[in-house]
Amino acid sequence: MTALTSTLADYRHQLRNNRLGLWLFFVSEAFLFGGLLVARFYLWGNTRPDLDQKLGLAITSVLLISSFFMARAESAIAHDDRQTFLESLFTTAILGVTFLVGVVGFEWGGHIKPSDGAYGAVLYGMTGMHALHVLSGVVFILIVWNRGRKGGFSAERHWGVEACAIYWHYVDVVWVFFYPALYLMGSVIH
Amino acid sequence: MIDVTQATIVLAALSAVLLVGLLVGSLAFFSVFVNRQFPPEPAKKKEEPAADVALLSRRSAAYRLGFLVLTALAVLTAVEYMVGVAWSSVALLLVLGLFKAGLIVQYFMHVTRVWSEEEH
């Protein structure tokens, strides 16, 4: 075995381990978000607070579009399209910040407060924990973008971009379940 | 029982989805029509090495797939919103959520790479 094939085999082995590790981390995170969902169904039952439906739909759309741009960024670097990679990654970060503004700036500024019993506790617990993950995702994206700007990734080697993309999509998947649980399921309590 | 406000929202959302569908459909139709009627002149086409053409083709396919997944997610979210506003069926909303999560996990997160030998 030559030094080159040995290095390549090592890299592939490392890549497999990295992916497995990341997915195991997601499994552990699923318990956290699953617990919050269980709390929502236990405490709210078949009811929900009167939240702004348009805002919920808008921030959900923003997060889904951000996932599209993140997938585009990953495809771009995998196909050696550096310009699209950097543009898409930056767009994803902007959309992530827009989502945060929607949740923290508008939803949290609504009529429900954290002290409003089970409704306030669950709403702020779920959106707060999710927003924290979005915030860490935006920081992760900006770090990857900065490294990408300096030529730190190539079509052959871009595990950092792949990990960042998978993390961002995971945050999106969590919101796919949180959105209907918070905004759509159950009858409105006034 | 659906009241007038809910029915209006459902109709507005349905109209928006139909409008977007019509717009995308018309654009696709006219793009095919224009390409057939006025094909690009082959003489002006830049000659590229075969490897570059293959890379560009794979890149376009990857971008197209991303756009298709986004379209599917948008349609499912619109349906989810209508179901939530009109009926608030927990079971149906869960099924729709699972579909959306499945699309993201399969096409954006590439879950199969965990157990396959596939590289980036």
- What percentage of chain B exceeds 90 in pLDDT? 38
Among A131-135, B85-89, B103-107, whose mean pLDDT is lowest? B85-89
* Cα within 13 Å of Cα(A170), Cβ side: 20
- Locate A118 and state its tokens: 């089970």
Please, which pLDDT band fits residue B4 given cuts at 50, 70 and 90?
Answer: low
**Distances from the Cα of A128 to the Cα of A87, B44, B66, angstroms:** 28, 56, 29
Give Cβ neighbours of residue A29 (< 8 Å, ≥ 6 apart).
Answer: A170
Residue A80 region by backbone torsions, left for phi larger than 0, else alpha for psi between -120 and 50, else beta: left
| pLDDT < 70 positions in chain A | 1
Name chain B contacts of A170, Cβ cutoff 8 Å: 109
Query: Which chain B residue has the Cα nearest residue A157?
Result: B120
pLDDT digits (tens, 9 = 90+) for A45-93: 999 999 999 999 999 999 999 999 999 999 999 999 999 999 999 999 9
The packing angle between helices A53-78 and A82-100, to 10°, is 160
Q: Tokens 């409704």 correspond to what residue?
A: A119
Q: Is A65 on the interface with B (CB under 8 A)?
A: yes
pLDDT digits (tens, 9 = 90+) for B67-86: 999 999 999 999 999 999 88
Q: Is A13 on the interface with B (CB under 8 A)?
A: no
- Locate B101 and state its tokens: 């999560």
Return the ∠ at Cα A95 (arms to A100 and A104), rounded to 5°: 10
Name chain A contacts of B105, Cβ cutoff 8 Å: 169, 173
Among A140-144, A159-163, B3-7, B50-54, whose mean pLDDT is lowest? B3-7
Which among A172, A167, A175 is positioned nearest to A21, based on CA atoms? A167
Q: Is A166 on the interface with B (CB under 8 A)?
A: yes
